Amino acid sequence: MRGLIVKDLLYMKTTWKNLVVMFIGSLLISIAIGNYLLAISVIPVMLLASGISTFQTDEFYNTESYTLAMPLSRIKIVTCKYLFTLIMMLISTIIGLIIYELIIVIGHVDAAGINVDMLKQLIMLELASVIVNSIFYPVIYKYGCEKSRFVLMSIVMLLLGVGSIFSVYINVINVQKIDFTKYINFIQEHGLNVLFVAVIIITIISYGLSILFYRHKDY
């Protein structure tokens, strides 16, 4: 299993220069607008997005058949992708913290501009990225990278459509009776915990679906 994780990690060497350029750009924007969250979050979020990129390169270089010819079960191959995402999340958190410290210590930045809330927002962004990955992975295993984009776009559009109709329906009933501030306060207070639980549940479902789809896939 370690071999496939190393394979995906090695892929990162082709993207690090782009990540550095992106970081410099985002840091400059952060300084200009006085919001350091952008500088802190861009690299971690991009690192997490690399999970999906590894699927794209696998598809581009047609490595799927070769991977399946290795002495690994299909379950192990899927597990490697999820472990890779977990590793990238740990790496991205460490990088986020390093950037955070660098901005404060080296950059002589006003500490008021950077605080614990910002780090919480960074972790929330990372968790949100993990959710996006978890949604993408099973769809990619089912349809491949190219088709999965359109499949997901169709699903999102369908959900938006259904949601729009549903919201109209709620408005017809009596939307004034719903206390949205209660929900907003709850999210502000417990958002990170909720997101954390959501990530675990969605990831487990995603992992199960990925195995189910990949088990039946031919390459």
Partner 1 sequence: MNIEVDNLTKNFDEFKLDNVSIKVPKGQIVGLIGENGAGKTTLLKCILNVMHKDAGTIKLFDAEYQDTFKENIGVVFDNSFMNETFDVRDINLIMQRVYHNWDSALFFRYMKDYKIPLKKEIRKLSSGMKKKIEIATALAHHPKLLILDEPTSGLDPIIRSEVLDMFQNFVTESDHSILLSTHITSDLEHIADRVIFISDGKIIFDEPLKQIKEEYIVLEMTKEEYAKFNKKHIIRYKENRLDYLVLINKKNMQTSYDKYIHNITTLDDIMLLYIRGAICED
* Interacting residues toward partner 1 by CB under 8 A: 2-4, 6-7, 10-11, 14, 57-58, 61-66, 68-73, 216, 218-219
Q: Which is nearer to partner 1, 3 or 25 (CB)?
A: 3
Closest among 75, 72, 89 to 134, alpha carbons compared: 89
Q: How far is the CB of 36 from partner 1 (least distance, A)?
A: 33
State the minimum distance, in angstroms, from the CB of residue 83 to partner 1.
13
What whole-number distance in Å separates Cα of residue 203 and Cα of residue 128?
11
Quote the tokens at residue 130: 């993990």
Please state the closest distance from residue 76 (CB atom) to partner 1, in A: 8
User: What would the two tokens of residue 164 be?
Assistant: 């729009």
Would you say 60 or 183 has its CB closer to partner 1?
A: 60
In this complex, which beta carbon is closest to partner 1, that of residue 117 or of residue 218? 218
Give Dmax over CA atoms of the chain in angstroms. Answer: 60
Cα(43)–Cα(99) distance, rounded to whole angstroms?
9
Residue 68 or 95 with smaller CB distance to partner 1: 68
Q: What is the dihedral of CA 208, 122, 51, 135, to 10 degrees?
A: 40
Question: How far apart are the C-alpha atoms of 157 and 175, rounded to whole Å?
Answer: 23
Minimum CB distance to partner 1, residue 99 (Å): 26
Cβ(126)–Cβ(89) below 8 Å = yes
| Rg of the Cα atoms in the chain | 20
Minimum Å distance from CB 11 to partner 1? 6
Closest to partner 1 by CB, 2 or 177: 2
CA 133/CA 124 separation, integer angstroms: 14
Residue 148, C-beta contacts closer than 8 angstroms, at least 6 positions apart: 136, 139, 140, 142
- Smallest distance, Å, CB 219 to partner 1? 5
Choice between 190 and 217, CB closer to partner 1: 217
